[in-house]
Amino acid sequence: MSLYEKIKHWRMPTNTLSASLQAMAPDGLRGNEGIVMWLGRSASNVATITHLVTFAEHLLRKRPDFLEIPPSTMSRLTDLAETLEVSLIGQIHSHPGTFIDLSIPDRRYGISAPYYLSVVAPHYAQRPDTDWRDCGVHQFIPRAGFRRVSNVEVRWRIERLPFANATSISLGEEA
């Protein structure tokens, strides 16, 4: 028995990608990676995104080609998830140009929980018309590591929910 539900499909509200790109774009303008964490629920091998979480500037460490979420910030994120009765399902972060694979630091220091979703947006999230198939979609597979999901798989594994919107939350802005 595993503590983690095996995820085969993701249900994404209409605003998941567009709102995430919009939230990361200001960092990209400064030549930095941006990040949005996705919270939600999973059942029957399907994860549904319910919340998009961004971070106040003082909660992250950023510079070109470097993004760090300190442990204290991760703790605040997990406290938030617990309060909302959801789990950390995945994230999206941006890379420069067309590089949409996970970098060596992404693989080595990123979240490596079973079935975790890690999406990479190209062009530092500067193109609002970016589609799921323009991104690198990666899933962490137990005992195998991160695996890139092919564009063919993206079409059937990511279900777009046309009449739903995820709730956006900015962690650290409440003070």
Angle at Cα 111 formed by Cα 58 and Cα 38, nearest 5°? Answer: 70
Share of residues in the chain with pLDDT > 90 (%)? 93
Q: What is the pLDDT of residues 99-125, one digit of tens each?
A: 999 999 999 999 999 999 999 999 999
Predicted confidence band at 1 (pLDDT cuts at 50, 70, 90)? very low
pTM for this prediction = 0.95
pLDDT at position 173: 79
pLDDT at position 4: 77
| pLDDT score of 2 more than 60 | no
For residues 89 and 38, the answer to whether their CB atoms sit within 8 Å is: yes
The string of DSSP letters for 70-129 reads -HHHHHHHHHHHHHHT-EEEEEEEE-STT--SPPHHHHHHS---TT-EEEEESGGG--TT
For residues 157 and 8, the answer to whether their CB atoms sit within 8 Å is: yes
